[in-house]
A and B are shown apart, each in its own frame.
Chain A
Amino acid sequence: MLSYILRRLLFLPVVLFGITILIFMLISTLGPWTRVATFVPSPDAERHVDLEAMIKKYHLDDPPVKMYLRWVNNLLHGNLGWSQSSHMTVTEAIRRRFPATLELTLFSVIPVIIGGIILGVISAVHHNKPIDHTTRIMAIALWSLPDFVLGLAVLMVGFGVLGWFPPGRLSSWAQLEVLKESFRSFTGMYTLDALLNLRLDIFWDALRHIIAPVITLSCLWWAFMLRITRSSMLDVLNQDYVRTARAKGLAEAVVIKKHALSNALIPVTTVAGNMLLGLMGGVVIVETVFNYSGLGLLTSTAATRLDVPCVVGVAIFYATILVLVNLVVDVLYSIIDPRVRLE
């Protein structure tokens, strides 16, 4: 067990090294002017100094290895450069936008897990019955809906026709309230902060804004989870120990809950990492559709304005989180399923 975790931990820096090398190689193809921006902490220096001096100052004519090391050193100190599209340092931009995205992702995980797993189990238990066919067709249909098409449709109906789910993160009155001194910011996630400040009106407003992007973001993964749970559950239900449990006269509900489900959920946990990866990618489009100012909107705006330092900063931030999450998932997985450790 310990050696397994240790092996996984040792692999962590290797992955991060690989990712930074990949990105560094891409950046190296840029001209010195653009590249300078990834090293400068603020644009003031850029305005007054000429190109030659800048290149000298930041040692941009050094051999690649030296440049790479300096860049990584900057990254480790949290200096990700200056973002032109948001007029602040990349680190600051990420720090401000991340809570919004985290909030959106956390809210999206709930319907995915509850809806996907429960329906998956029901579908498998009633294999090839009408309810199985219905949920399956529904899942395929949802899976085929591109997130931006779904997003546009949800916005059109939810805001345009019904007026329930406005775009953005907060209404303007609530935005003003949040910026006041009396409103303490604990996490940056408006729903949670509003509750902690005992402001139900703001909580309600934040909730109304977040529902539409959550629906859009979770639909696809909801369908994905349903498929995985269904096939894993079908597999388990055919196993001998389930037959034994039935043969000794246990009630069907007990067989499913106690014997089948806990084993069927093992493969489901492995895709949790995949799901997070997908959700994090998905926010780029969903946040843009709903004008929800999180990391996704930051990324897409930066990309359309060719703001390289910002996009690169977000990518590295994402990759780091992802590697950590995958590590946690793997360790959890090895705790749940002892067979994994034996590899």
Chain B
Amino acid sequence: MEIFRRLVKNRISLFGLILLVLFVLIAIAAPWLAPPKEGSDPYRIPRRGWTLEPTPPSAKYPLGLTQGQYDIYYGIVWGTRTAFRVGIIVISFRALIGIILGSISAYYGGILDEVLMRFTDIFMSFPYLIGVVVFVAIFGPGLNNVMIPLIALGWMPYARMIRGNILAIKQEEYVLAARAIGANDFKIITRHILPNTIFPVLIQASMQIGSIVISVSGLSFLGLGAPEGYADWGQMLSFARNWMLGEQGNVLKYWFTVIYPGLAMVLFVLSWNLIGDAFRDIMDPRIQA
């Protein structure tokens, strides 16, 4: 609560919080803001025509129609849900794997620790975007096939953090006391050690949601992630690639195909980063002075 109070007090992070709440509201209200057609998959952006050339914003379609007449407004609203879903799924699995491996490694120590940490090093020395591309080249494009390697190549920092935190408190008296009264390992880890180490890691992890959404959208932009017509901001921006140079004498003719989906992405990521940056200062005791 103390942390929350300080986040609200800081004007920069307050702005981030407001933005984030706005996105949450959009995601929740998506069925009312942009009602999908009865019986169709709501994550498919509806097409309002069949010509290739984008149509500028009009009263009927406020943000215009991108290549292939996909409705930009609809795509942005439902894309918010995609962004949250992708970010939350990837982060939770990363944190889960990190917590399990990190706590085993720290608690048992010795050879197991050595092996697990070398394992972590190997995963860390892989350029992860390239890793994702390898995975997609082998298993084919798709949102899931992007998220799996992002999880597999992203849990290491959390494992290390948890391990470090646990090593630091392992010798604290309350842990020794729990062992002295005969609690078993599982109980000591889950009841005494994790609650005291997990919180900072979970916060750090959630702040990564912004950058994960960037990675996934980037891959969709390359055509490796979400399929064409799926409500995903990166996928919508890949349409813009063919039109961004406009036409002779009117370079900015198709500005709306870049600006609107781009703005949605930037604001979403910005909201996480603003909060994350304030958090870092709050959690870092060195900068208190």
B159 → chain A closest CB, angstroms: 15
In the complex, A289→B234 CA distance in Å?
13
> Chain B residues near A214 (CB, 8 Å)?
none
Assuming the contacts A156-B244, A156-B251, A304-B222, asked whether A141 and B270 have C-beta atoms less than 8 A apart, the reply is yes
A15 with B122: CB separation less than 8 A = yes
In the complex, A146→B222 CA distance in Å?
13
The interface stretch among A61-69, A100-108, A317-325, A331-339 is: A317-325
> Chain A residues near B182 (CB, 8 Å)?
none
B277 → chain A closest CB, angstroms: 6
> Chain B residues near A289 (CB, 8 Å)?
241
How many B residues touch the partner, as a band?
35 or more
A250-278 vs B: 1/0 string, CB under 8 Å?
Answer: 00000000000000000000000000010
The interface stretch among A22-30, A42-50, A174-182 is: A22-30
A76 → chain B closest CB, angstroms: 19
B121 with A306: CB separation less than 8 A = no
Which residues of chain A from 296 to 311 have a CB within 8 Å of any chain B CB? 299-300, 302-304, 306-308, 311
The count of residues in chain A whose C-beta lies closer than 8 Å to any C-beta of chain B is: 58
A152 with B133: CB separation less than 8 A = no
B287 with A231: CB separation less than 8 A = yes
In the complex, A14→B115 CA distance in Å?
11
> Chain B residues near A314 (CB, 8 Å)?
130
A147 with B273: CB separation less than 8 A = no
B36 → chain A closest CB, angstroms: 26
| B261, closest chain A residue (CB) | A149
In the complex, A318→B127 CA distance in Å?
7
B266 with A149: CB separation less than 8 A = yes
A234 within 8 A of B: yes
B127 with A280: CB separation less than 8 A = yes
Contact of B262 among A153, A234, A277 (CB under 8 A): A153
B237 with A140: CB separation less than 8 A = no
B82 → chain A closest CB, angstroms: 15
B202 within 8 A of A: no
Assuming the contacts A160-B251, A281-B127, A281-B130, asked whether A234 and B286 have C-beta atoms less than 8 A apart, the reply is yes
Most buried by B among A136, A284, A314, A326: A284
A94 within 8 A of B: no
> Chain A residues near B270 (CB, 8 Å)?
140-141, 144
A137 with B287: CB separation less than 8 A = no
B127 with A277: CB separation less than 8 A = yes
In the complex, A22→B135 CA distance in Å?
11
A130 within 8 A of B: no
10 nearest A-B pairs in the assembled complex, by CB-CB distance: A281-B129, A18-B122, A144-B270, A311-B137, A160-B251, A144-B269, A149-B262, A146-B214, A303-B137, A303-B133
Beyond the given pairs A231-B284, A300-B133, 12 more chain A to chain B contacts, judged by CB atoms under 8 angstroms and listed by A's residue number, are: A18-B119, A22-B122, A282-B129, A284-B133, A285-B222, A303-B224, A304-B141, A306-B140, A311-B137, A315-B134, A322-B125, A323-B125
- Residues of chain B having any CB pair with chain A under 8 Å: 12, 118-119, 121-122, 125-131, 133-141, 210, 214, 217-218, 221-224, 234, 237, 240-241, 244-246, 251-252, 255, 258, 262, 265-266, 269-270, 273-274, 277, 280, 284, 286-287, 289
